[in-house]
Structure 1
Amino acid sequence: MRAEDIEALIAVGRPTIARDGSFAVFAMSRPDIAANSNVGQLWRVDLPDGTPRRLTRGKADGSPRLSPDGARIAFTRLDAKGRPQLFVVDATGGEPVQATDAPLGVGDFDWSPDGTVLGFTARVPEKGRYGTVEGLDPNAESPRRITGVRWHANGLGYIADRPAHVFVVAAPQTDSEPFYEPAPAVIAEGDEPPKKRIVAHEATQLTHGDRSHSGIAFSGDEILTTVDEIERERRDLRSPLIAVRTDGSGERELIGRDANLGIGGVAVADDGTIAFLGDDVGPEGVDFVAPITSLWVLEADGPRRVTDAETVDLGEVGSHITPLGEDFLVQDRTRGRVRLLRVTRAGAVTEVLGGDVEVGGHDAAGDRIVAAAATPDSYGELFLIDGGAAPRVLTAFGARAAAAGIVAPTELSVDARDGYPVHGWVAKPEGEGPFPVILQIHGGPYASYGVHLFDETQVLVDAGYAVVYCNPRGSAGYGREHGRSIRQAMGTVDFTDVIDFLDGAVAADSALDGDRLGVMGGSYGGYLTAWVIAHDHRFAGAIVERGFLDPTSFQGTSDIGSFFGDEYVGTDPDAIARQSPLAVVDQVRTPTLVMHSELDFRCPLEQATRYYSALVRNGVDAELLVFPGENHELSRSGQPRHRIERFAAILDWWARRLPVKTPS
């Protein structure tokens, strides 16, 4: 596939299924280059054999949740100001009705058990900021007083002046009278002119103060949500779970900080059992390196871990829980896959959907389970598991990508120099080669490459490059010891693992030209790329993208700087220097393209500019490419035109530094 074929990367979001199992609803999304945004709508499929059909026609409709009776769907849609608001539409289709008018849009949401109320989170702006005063330019706002260790977040910006709170609003009826624009009229002196109405019911705010809240799960007449409070002196990843009364009469704590848990993905079973995804972050609240996310249930004497922390990891992005009778459905990441598991309350595990899939969402009713998953030849499809039958694909969104041309990678395991097995893949163009080889390194570090259709690899292969990529020690999906092996030892076995995997891949395939090599990576992959070129000088070029390049300045600039570096590289200055790419930049001789985004608050822009400046000062052939208006997620969810321009820059760099030989 080529860069412009990112429009074929059609993703399927978390599905929702009717209680009687008769139909399911899901959202699809994809990049649209002409619109320069990600677009998508809701789809419905009648089960078990219906044809999927488009249900809504908004620009970016998403996150559908069916009402308990299956008659209506609540979902998010951008309003006229580009803010995500809740809308409600009949499950059979029709004109959606707007349910919220939150000043900064809504976040998490869910239906009440009786279907009369929607609970949601929304950020509440401080008065005088974020457009709350008409005509007040952001540059003219009052200064911000920072008193905690955190003040911003990637993809959002400042956080202390817009905490997220819990709200409830009456769910609108889809057949109600619409609102009309008031016509100009002469009014009596002292009277107020009629206001234009957008929503039928005003939302009620249930929580207040400086603390933020995330997650919405109804439990009777309470809403379960987690609490995030900006710390005064040191980071604390422990997140209390509270229950907020829907009538606004108060709240109570269910799980406190003394449980030492980072909590997310709360769900309530039909019998009232509370389950959640949790990481044990230790009594200091910062032990986050390879935590192994587990399924927990809340019992009378406190939380109980259900899944085995050594063999099941539920920490993949988007992971959640679906209660299913006495059991729970969860997503387990392992060796580049994300499989769907059914887990009993006693901890017994059964695989529901496995193989070469990366499950991104699921729901269930009776004996029917629907799951959204990516595969090697599709960015997203909807699967049906009907009773004891084998899983069946209900959609064919991958056909567009297949028509664009994709290559199936070959799975490979290589023993590192110390005998440790390193798992990964090789993707190469058709033909005998030999092809120039690019070593790709993933971010994280506690993340992983997987089996899903990956545009980063496919575009390079289409351009004539063989691509080698693996999950070295420090990656997710291979157990806790694997993930923690580089804690305060970055640039050690992770470095040798990627190099040894590259060497093993080249030695195993004569189509790979070991004399023509490049290396590239983003985020932690940018870190390791910078580390590689300081210690191995055989590469014709390198691309260091959105990198973690100076642990010292990272501490005071990144949104995770208050704890990330402390845990991964330690606090001793000598230890930090031993693991810092900037400390060894004077050893780099490889031509290097440094790429970054202006609004990256995860690995701030200064990481790139200081590294680039050091390269130039040391006489290295280097270039810097900075994308305006983008954050750390440019390559995954940035503006489509910027994603195309990013690919163009990558291919141009390799064409100059590592050209593909034209067959004679």
Structure 2
Amino acid sequence: MNKITAEKFCEMQFAGSPQFSPDGKYLAYTLKKVKADKKGYESDLYVLKENGKTIRLTAGGDGNGFVWTKENTLLFSAMREKADKDRAAKREVFSVFYEISPEGGEAVRAFELPIWAGALNMLDDGSFYTVARVDTHYPDKDAEDFDKQLKEYTAPAYRALEETPFWFNGRGFTDGIRNVLYLCDRQGQAKPVTGTDFDVFFTTTDGTRILFTGVPVTGKKLNRDSGLYLYDTASGETKTVLEPGAIRISYAYFRNEKEALLCASREDVYGKNQSGQLYVLDLETGDIRDFGDTPIIPAMGHVNTDVRMGGGYSCKMIGEDFYFIRLDGYKNVLCHADACGCVHEDRVFPHGVDAFDECGGKWAFNILSAEGMNEIFVDDVQITNTSDALKDHYVAVPEYVPFVNADGIEIDGWIMKPIDYVEGKKYPALYEIHGGPRTAFGDNFFHEMQYFASEGYFVFFCNPRGSDGKGDAFADIWGRYGSIDYEDLMAFCDHVLAITPDIDAQRLGVLGGSYGGYMTNWIIGHTDRFKAACSQRSIANWISFEFTTDIGATFTPAQHKTTTHEDVHALWDVSPLKYADKAVTPTLFIHSDHDFRCWMVEGIQMFTALKMHDVPTRLCLFADETHELSRSGRPDNRISRLTEMKDWFAKYLKEENENG
């Protein structure tokens, strides 16, 4: 069997966004792949026809973010003409949309909008709405010195910041930038519904009205305090249904003319970490009542993977029923709440499902696998083959090895065997810790883990307390970071060693990103059982994190029940940096210089602390990458990241005859 290499993901395709046409005769979806130069990705549109034939609609790599029209054609945004590309390079504000028939043929330039438009959403009269990015710092087009101002805008000598957060992961600097709701048409008209004193977050429509969440903008942009608003396209009037801060809103969908289905949290038990519950909202009065006789908590979520690059519906109103993908442990379940408020489980997906759609009784799914990439299915028929590149390659299928912790709680966990495994032979092992902390691992395909298994390591991982999939009580480590989660992680490590005698306990490595990076930092300051570590996009110091990152001001109190100015000692006590002087484990730190979720100062602090205490360490800073480096970063950088990790662990965990 061939090894799965660091570059292998470059040969595979990433399926996403399955959506039926309004008449149900076609299913559109996207396939994304790595560009030949490994410096980016390209995505194209595909359509499954009613006769079962699949055709590729686009070939330019720009077929992304599509929407079906009422006439069963597809609209998508692209820059295909040289003149448009030149205008975009000069930072002109406009968007171009192309239209193509699901029967194929050339895509036709349909219209241009004078805004930086987001995804289009169709309305019943054939017009549409979008949420556009508006930069209030953009020069006045009517100014006499517009060209000079534009030049300064595109290459500023400095930035004057007046808002916090002033940057956001994946978006860069966001000071002065707003998400504005626009009504648009094919004639190129774009009418703002909201102003630049307001930020829009979530939208949905019943065809004539638009429900949206958002907040009036102050100097502090804290997204959790959004209100809910109703815009009537006929009257042009906007009504406030729920004031900002009335309840923490996740999303809302029209239920009928007078009511909406609202998913929101009262935050009365688990604070900001409390899951949303389904309610019925009276759109006229703003009154909220329970949906059904017992609380319905959708508990929507997906298992972690590094081969997910497609969108699609994870919840949707279908008739009077609300369908959603629930995370149940480490499996996904398609459920629906009927008009009476009763929840029904419709289908279990053992390895996970990312998206679904339905039309006329036909169902489409983007399903995860333990042995390969996501695949698009219609009902039970697979219509994509994104995993062909894995034929004749070793794929380590995770073995489920749960254990019961000291408090009698079952913890889900898995072990993956190394390539060419020989029973009785000793192998090094790597312990992967997920981010979040409220996310979850499953037994689905994970390229990074497969790569390490192909490099001759046992790989093991689990979902400790704090993880998603088992309810709020299980996920509750509010104010308890580094305690019960750490205990579960160490206990699972003991469990794995006890049931897997072929793992060499003297050659263990640990690694993780985000919260997993935080926990890796914590581990090296509290135990020497691991002989090498790799901490990625981590948190080292909750005090610096609170004041330098895009979510720090809200996430810190949400996780620790306090802030720096309320109790600096409490935050320092749960900061791995406090214990860095106790570390002896050789540790590789990986960070991105545009990671504004966990800014690079976190990795720098840990690296410097270990250096000062003579612990072998290395810091890799990836230029122009974000918190998403491992999942959607530039392919050549993703390869370099994996190679750095491989070399680091090989140096400290492998015997000379095992390197090859």
TM-score by length of 1: 0.87
Q: Is the 8 A contact 1:77 1:86 kept in 2?
A: yes
Any conservation in 2 of the 1:234–1:562 contact (CA below 8 Å)? no
Distance 1:453 1:97, change over 3 A: same
* Distance in 1 of aligned mates of 2:582 and 2:322: 52
Structural mapping, 1:356-395, within 5 Å? 356-385=350-379, 391-395=380-384
* Among 549, 555, 558, the residue aligned to 2:540: 549
Q: In structure 2, do the counterparts of structure 1 residues 663 and 579 end up closer, same or farther at CA, with 3 Å as the change threshold?
A: closer
CA contact (8 A) 1:29 1:40 kept: yes
**Aligned CA distance change for structure 1 residues 652 and 125 (closer, same or farther; 3 Å):** same
Task: Identify the residue that residue 143 of structure 2 maps to in structure 1.
Answer: none
Q: Which moved more, 1:455-464 or 1:85-94?
A: 85-94
Alignment map for 1:542-621 (pairs within 5 Å)? 542-569=533-560, 570-571=562-563, 572-621=567-616
The Cα shift of 1:578 comes to: 1.9
Q: Residues 404, 165 of structure 1: CA spacing in aligned structure 2 closer, same or farther, 3 A cutoff?
A: farther
Match of 1:170 in 2: 185
Tell whether 2:118 aligns with 1:118. no
- Given that 1:466 and 1:512 are in contact with CA atoms closer than 8 Å, whether structure 2 keeps it comes out as yes
**Distance 1:621-1:310 versus aligned 2 partners, 3 A rule:** farther
Distance (whole Å) between structure 1 residues aligned to residue 649 and residue 114 of structure 2: 45
Residue-by-residue CA offset, 1:586-645 (whole Å, 9 max, x unaligned):
110100111100001000111111111111111111111000000111000100010011
The one-letter amino acid of 2:479's match is: Q
RMSD of aligned Cα (Å): 2.8
Go from structure 1 to structure 2 and tell me whether the alpha carbon gap of 1:152 and 1:381 turns closer, same or farther (over 3 Å shift): same
Q: Report the alpha carbon displacement of residue 110 of structure 1 after superposing the two structures with TM.
A: 0.9
Q: Deviations over 1:550-582 (max 9, x none)?
A: 000111101011111112123322221221101
Residue in 1 that maps onto 2:308? none
In the alignment, the residues of structure 2 paired with residue 128 and residue 65 of structure 1 have an alpha-carbon distance, to the nearest angstrom, of: 29
The answer (yes or no) to whether the contact 2:434–2:441 under 8 Å persists in 1 is yes
Paired with 1:488 and 1:421, the residues of 2 have a C-alpha distance of 22
Q: Of residues 156, 160, 163 in structure 1, which corresponds to 2:171?
A: 156
- 1:166–1:235 Cα change, 3 Å: closer
Tell me how far 1:103 sits from its aligned partner. 6.8
Q: Do 1:240 and 1:255's aligned partners in 2 also have CA atoms closer than 8 Å?
A: yes
Q: State the partner residue of 1:288.
A: 272
Unaligned 5+ runs, structure 2: 141-145, 304-310
Q: CA deviation at 1:101?
A: 4.7
1:415 equivalenced with 2:404 (yes/no): yes
Corresponding residue of 1:87: 98
Is 1:37 aligned to 2:40, yes or no? yes
- 1:224 pairs with 2:216: no
For residues 58 and 625 of structure 1, do their structure 2 counterparts lie closer, same or farther at Cα, with a shift above 3 Å needed? same
SS at match of 1:370: strand
2:37 partner amino acid: A
Q: For 1:30 and 1:453, how far apart are their aligned partners in 2?
A: 17
Q: Are residues 1:649 and 2:633 paired?
A: no
Match of 1:431 among 410, 413, 421: 421
1:519 corresponds to which residue? Answer: 510
Q: Following TM superposition, by how much is the alpha carbon of 1:402 offset from its aligned partner in structure 2, in angstroms?
A: 4.1
- Cα 1:256/1:108, change in 2 over 3 Å: farther
Shift in alpha-carbon separation, 1:593–1:104, aligned structure 2, 3 A: farther
SS in 1 for 2:365: strand
Counterparts in 2 of 1:332 and 1:404: CA distance versus 1, 3 Å:
same
Q: Is the 8 A contact 2:482 2:522 kept in 1?
A: yes
Superposed CA offset, 1:146-171 (max 9, x none): 1x442221111222312011112224
Structure 2 equivalent of residue 176 of structure 1? none
Q: Cα distance 1:140–1:259, how it changes in 2: closer, same or farther (>3 A)?
A: closer
- Is residue 310–residue 480 contact of structure 1 (8 Å, CA) maintained in 2? no
Q: 1:142 to 1:588 in 2, by over 3 A?
A: closer
Q: How many angstroms apart in 2 are the aligned matches of 1:292 and 1:89?
A: 41
Q: Deviations over 1:498-553 (max 9, x none)?
A: 11111111211223222210000111000000111111102111001110110001
Aligned to 2:75: 74
Contact 2:166 2:173 in 1 (8 A): yes
Task: Indicate the residue corresponding to 2:307 in structure 1.
Answer: none
Instruction: Tell me the distance in 1 between the aligned counterparts of 2:104 and 2:496.
Output: 52
TM-score, reference length from structure 2: 0.87
Query: Which of 474, 477, 490 is 1:482 aligned to?
Result: 474
CA distance in 2, matches of 1:205, 1:235: 23
1:46 and 2:49 are equivalent in the alignment: yes
User: Counterparts of 2:555 and 2:621 in 1: how far apart (Å)?
Assistant: 24
Distance 1:398 1:273 in 2: 47
**Corresponding letter in the other structure for 1:282:** E
Counterpart check, 1:324 vs 2:318: yes
Compute the displacement of 1:119 (Å). 1.0
Check 1:575–1:127 CA distance in 2 against 1; reply closer, same or farther (3 A cut).
Answer: closer
Query: Which residue, 313, 318, 321 being the options, matches 2:299?
Result: 313
Q: 1:502 to 1:122 in 2, by over 3 A?
A: same
- Partner residue of 1:197? none
In structure 2, how many angstroms separate the alpha carbons of the residues matched to 1:663 and 1:124?
A: 55
Shift of 1:480: 0.7
Alpha-carbon offset, residue 460 of structure 1? 0.6
Structure 1 residue 248: Cα displacement: 8.0
Of 622, 626, 629, 1:627 maps to 622
- Do 2:375 and 2:386's aligned partners in 1 also have CA atoms closer than 8 Å? yes
Task: Flag the 1:158–1:245 CA change in 2: closer, same or farther, 3 A.
Answer: farther
Cα offset, 1:243, TM superposition = 2.1
Distance 1:140 1:64 in 2: 34
* 229, 241, 263: which one aligns with 2:250: 263
Give 1:95's aligned amino acid.
E
Shift of 1:57: 1.8
Q: 8 Å contact 1:368–1:384 — kept in the other structure?
A: yes
Residues 124-178 of structure 1 show CA distances to partners (whole Å, capped at 9, x for unaligned) of: 12244699844335443674341x442221111222312011112224xxxxxxx
Conservation of the 8 A alpha-carbon contact between 1:27 and 1:41: yes
Q: Which runs of 5+ in 1 are unaligned?
A: 172-199, 386-390
8 Å contact kept, 1:10–1:28: yes
What secondary structure, in the 3-state scheme, does the structure 1 residue paired with 2:636 have?
helix
Q: What amino acid is the match of 1:136?
A: E
- What is the match of residue 341 of structure 1? 335
CA drift of 1:27 comes to: 1.2
The answer as to whether partners of 1:296 and 1:305 remain within 8 angstroms in 2 is yes
Matching of residues 191-202 of structure 1 within 5 Å: 200-202=187-189
CA–CA distance in structure 2, aligned partners of residues 372 and 13 of structure 1:
7
Give the C-alpha shift of residue 275 in structure 1. Answer: 4.8
Alpha-carbon offset, residue 326 of structure 1: 2.0
Question: Are the structure 2 counterparts of residues 258 and 345 from structure 1 closer, same or farther at C-alpha, using a change threshold of 3 Å?
Answer: farther
CA contact (8 A) 1:292 1:315 kept: no
| Structure-2 residue corresponding to 1:195 | none
Q: Contact 2:549/2:596 (CA < 8 Å) preserved in 1?
A: yes
SS in 1 for 2:272: coil
The number of equivalent residue pairs is: 622
- Separation of aligned partners in 2, 1:157 and 1:276: 34
Contact 1:129 1:138 (8 Å CA) reproduced: no
Contact 1:52 1:395 in 2 (8 A): no
> Which residue of structure 1 aligns with residue 452 of structure 2?
460
Contact 1:465–1:660 (8 Å) recurs in 2: no
* Matched residue SS, 1:288: helix
Matched letter for residue 292 of structure 1: S
Correspondence list, 1:486-497, <5 A: 486-497=477-488
Counterpart of 2:116 in structure 1 is: 105
- Which letter maps to 1:566? P
* Structure 1 Cα separation of the partners of residues 56 and 442 of structure 2: 29
Q: How far did residue 356 of structure 1 move?
A: 1.8
